[in-house]
Amino acid sequence: MALTRDARERGRRKRRTPVAKLELRRVEQSWLSRQLHDDLGPSLCAAGLQLSLLRTETADIPAECAAALENVQAILERAVDLTRLLSYSVNPGCAARCGLRDMVRMMARSFRVEVPEAETAPRAEGPAAVELAEQLLDSFLLLEATGGEPKTRVLLLEDSVVLDTAGRRQEEFLPVTQRPLRHWHCELRERPRVNRTTLKWSLDQVREK
């Protein structure tokens, strides 16, 4: 009996492990997003403000020094923008607030992925938008883990979102496709003739109605 109970408990722990790991990752992402948005971002803004005041009070400094200060301020402003961008990109939950289209664009920009201009996008809101953002983040991180890929783009279509990247990457993307989805259908396809791989997420219209 004791052996049977131990076996059952090990089975329960094994089933809980993927869920626990996924939940832990979500907590980590949320924490990192808050640190970027609430701590690092304001600190950079404060540094930029102090530098701006310093430039105002030292208007008579040599031109070379003035140019150097202006360059530093421009760098700080870019750092503030990037920090804000990353704070959203690492937290898929933000998709529920900013919308699917804007979230996809912010994430793609963070990972240097092309997103062509599009007039349409899937009408996914709330949990559906968050679910797709999670899938995209996982995909982008997998690409980064293998050195990134400059020839990657994300297409926003009327009822689907497509990630198209160079190379034969079916095996790399399998962990993404194996995760259960409630609002989307995910299709992974390799195209050997053109040496590209696509991940296509189609909105489950039946469930969304």
Residues 145 and 200 in one domain: yes
| Torsion angle of C-alpha atoms 175, 203, 90, 81, degrees rounded to 10 | 140
Q: Are residues 119 and 81 in the same domain?
A: no
pLDDT digits (tens, 9 = 90+) for 159-175: 999 999 999 888 889 88
The answer to whether residue 166 is domain-embedded is yes
One domain, residues 71 and 22: yes
For residue range 62-110, what is the model confidence (pLDDT) as tens digits? 888 888 888 888 888 888 878 877 787 778 888 888 888 888 888 888 8
What pLDDT is stored for residue 202 in this prediction? 96
Question: 118 and 198 in one domain?
Answer: yes
73 and 131 in a common domain: no
Domain count, the chain: 2
On whether both 39 and 120 belong to a single domain, the answer is no
What is the extent of the structural domain holding 65?
2-89
154, part of any domain: yes
Please tell me the predicted confidence (pLDDT) of residue 82: 80
37 and 76 share a domain?
yes
| Cα-Cα-Cα-Cα dihedral sign, residues 100, 102, 104, 110 | negative
Q: Is residue 104 part of a domain?
A: no
CA distance 130 to 79: 26
CATH number reported for the structural domain that contains residue 172 in this entry? 3.30.980
pLDDT at residue number 15: 44
Q: Which of the two residues, 2 and 199, has the higher pLDDT score? A: 199
Residue reference for tokens 């031109």: 63
Q: Is 52 exposed, middle or buried (0-12, 13-18, 19+ CB in 10 A)?
A: middle
- Average confidence (pLDDT) over 40-58: 83
Residues 6+ away with beta carbon under 8 Å from 47: 76
**pLDDT tier, 198 (very low <50, low <70, confident <90, very high otherwise):** very high
Whether 19 maps to a domain, the answer reads: yes
